[in-house]
Structure 1
Amino acid sequence: MDVREMTEEEFEIYRTRAVAEYAEEHVKVGDWEEEGALEKADAEFRSLLPDGVHTKEHHLFSICEGEKVIGMFWLAVIDKKKGWIYDIKLEESIRGKGYGKETMTEIDRLGKNLGIRTIRLHVFGHNHIARQLYEKAGYRETNVIMEKEL
């Protein structure tokens, strides 16, 4: 597995897919109505990454196996000591083969190189596989939002 900075072409492909998935997740958990969700998601991405892959303090990486891109991650420096993982994606065909663990180790290494002391991330409650990966990588819950339908 190799990690390198994401190209502009890869970013456009990622952004299109990520905006749709982000909107879908927010609809699924009841945060947003389906109508307008795509526009909200797109607006959030544009505000976070106004200069795409060149946005200051935001680092987007492609995860490769040989020449093939098999995933990506997005790490931001929030205040010189704190980092935030905005996204991690691995192709479904390679999940469960250790790439997630290796990606988390690489994020730690890059975070240290950037001077980050702590890293946070958000994970939707229903994403049990990702939650297990993060817990095994040493992440702990710092707050929990719970909801009940009436």
Structure 2
Amino acid sequence: MTIKLLTSENVTAELENQMANLFKQLNPDLQLNPLAKIMEKQDQLSLVYCQEGDQIIGMAAMCSYHVLSGSKGMVEDVVVDENSRGKGLGRKLMEELLQIAEQKGLTEVLLFSGNHRQSAIRLYTKLGFVKSESGLYRLKFAQ
């Protein structure tokens, strides 16, 4: 089992297909953006994935951005294949993202998690994340 940082050079149709199928386990209503499109801004997106043999069994992404209050990272789309859960893979993916955040000199890493994702929330808490009381407002645009 190896954890890798996705680069535009290692994007293949097979890898993209496996990630799309894994992404459906996170939310079947969402569709994975084409990897070539999201990898255009490699300096802003860090996508790590776990490969066992030739199978992708987990992935997590972090977008980096700079605002007046600091350099931040937003963790998105953390998912481990249902057959590989409970083995610490989510922790390894998150630790890799946090290491990248430190290397980039980010001042803060943020994430949102649904209240129903109790095992994920336990992991984030163990990693040092603290739930804030601020509300999240969302406005979706039609595609």
Query: Structure 2-normalised TM-score?
Result: 0.70
> Identity across aligned pairs (percent)?
22
| Compared CA separation, residues 68 and 11, structure 1 to 2 (3 A) | closer
Give the match for residue 52 of structure 1. Answer: 38
Q: RMSD over aligned Cα, in angstroms?
A: 2.8
Bigger fraction of residues in strand:
2
How many pairs does the alignment contain?
Answer: 125
2 CA distance for matches of 1:133 and 1:19?
21
Query: Structure 1-normalised TM-score?
Result: 0.67
Give the match for residue 63 of structure 1. Answer: 50
| 1:105 aligns to 2:95 (yes or no) | yes
| 1:94 aligns to 2:84 (yes or no) | yes
Bigger fraction of residues in helix:
1
Deviations 1:86-118 (A, max 9, x none): 111111122111212222221111111122121
2 CA distance for matches of 1:111 and 1:99?
18
| Compared CA separation, residues 65 and 84, structure 1 to 2 (3 A) | same
Which consecutive unaligned segments of at least 5 residues does structure 2 have? 136-143
1 CA distance for matches of 2:76 and 2:51?
19
Instruction: State the one-letter code of the partner of 1:4.
Output: K
User: Equivalent residue of 1:97, what SS?
Assistant: coil
| 1:5 aligns to 2:10 (yes or no) | no
Instruction: Please report how far the alpha carbon of residue 65 of structure 1 lies from its aligned counterpart in structure 2 after TM superposition.
Output: 3.0
Instruction: State the one-letter code of the partner of 2:3.
Output: V
| 1:14 aligns to 2:19 (yes or no) | yes
Contact 2:65–2:73, Cα closer than 8 Å, also in 1: yes
Contact 1:3–1:61, Cα closer than 8 Å, also in 2: yes
Give the match for residue 82 of structure 1. Answer: 72
Deviations 1:57-112 (A, max 9, x none): 11222212344321111111021721000111111122111212222221111111
Which consecutive unaligned segments of at least 5 residues does structure 1 have? 25-37, 146-150
1 CA distance for matches of 2:36 and 2:133?
29
| Compared CA separation, residues 89 and 116, structure 1 to 2 (3 A) | same
Instruction: Please report how far the alpha carbon of residue 5 of structure 1 lies from its aligned counterpart in structure 2 after TM superposition.
Output: 3.0
Give the match for residue 116 of structure 2. Answer: 126
| Compared CA separation, residues 60 and 138, structure 1 to 2 (3 A) | same
